[in-house]
Amino acid sequence: MYYVLTGILLGSIGFSVADIASQFEESRVAPDVVNKAPIEELEVKYGEKKLKFGDELTPTQVKDMPDIDFKHEDSALYTLIMIDPDAPTRKAPIMREWQHWIVINIPGDDVSKGETLADYVGAGPPQGSGLHRYVILVFKQPGKLTVDEKHRKITDQTLRERFSTKKFAAKYNLGEPVAGNLFLAQWDDYVPTLYRKLSGKD
């Protein structure tokens, strides 16, 4: 089943790029992370690499914050959430969902002008844990959000565990995501460097 899923995510079944909702459902992001899949693909670029849904990227490739673009209303505010629902492994995701990046009150699609709740942390799957799904979602807000969640710094590892996108969206009346994307990643030799940063030793 795991390898079948991987094949689906990498495009072996031949989904059209436009059919993002079906890909979210086939990848089990809906219902693992959200109840309903977005219908728009979120544009995500790591350097010169433009993400296609289900691409396998390395932790080295995604160590720096990506550029984000999506269809938006200039007068609206948005929330961006990036999580790993497969922490520490897909078979035993006892830390699901691990927060990799959360930004609220984004004007239009200018993420740099939003309010960061969780500093960006790239993929860091444990060695031998296989491929993880890294899900990036955007929600349209009903208005400006005032939240009671504290800012998660890069070293706040335990505060990032067991997040629920569904509960957060329900708490702040975000509805279902308007755009999303997903990549896969497994351990590479950058991960120990990332772990040192997370521990505050680097």
Q: For the range 18-24, what are the long-range contacts, defined as Cβ-Cβ under 8 Å and sequence gap of 24 or more?
A: 20/53, 20/180, 20/181, 23/53, 23/54, 23/182, 24/180, 24/182
Position 75, amino acid? S
Report pTM.
0.90
pLDDT tens per residue across span 166-200: 999 999 999 999 999 999 999 999 999 999 999 98
CA 183 to chain centroid, in Å, comes to 9
Percent of the chain with pLDDT over 90: 87
Q: What was the pLDDT predicted at 12?
A: 33
pLDDT tens per residue across span 124-166: 999 999 999 999 999 999 999 999 999 999 999 889 999 999 9
Query: How large is the greatest C-alpha to C-alpha distance in the chain, in angstroms?
Result: 45
Q: Pull the structure tokens for residue 156.
A: 């706040």
What percent of the residues of the chain are helix, what percent strand, and what percent coil, each to the nearest 5?
20, 25, 55
* Superfamily, domain 2-199: PEBP-like (3.90.280.10)
Q: What was the pLDDT predicted at 201?
A: 79
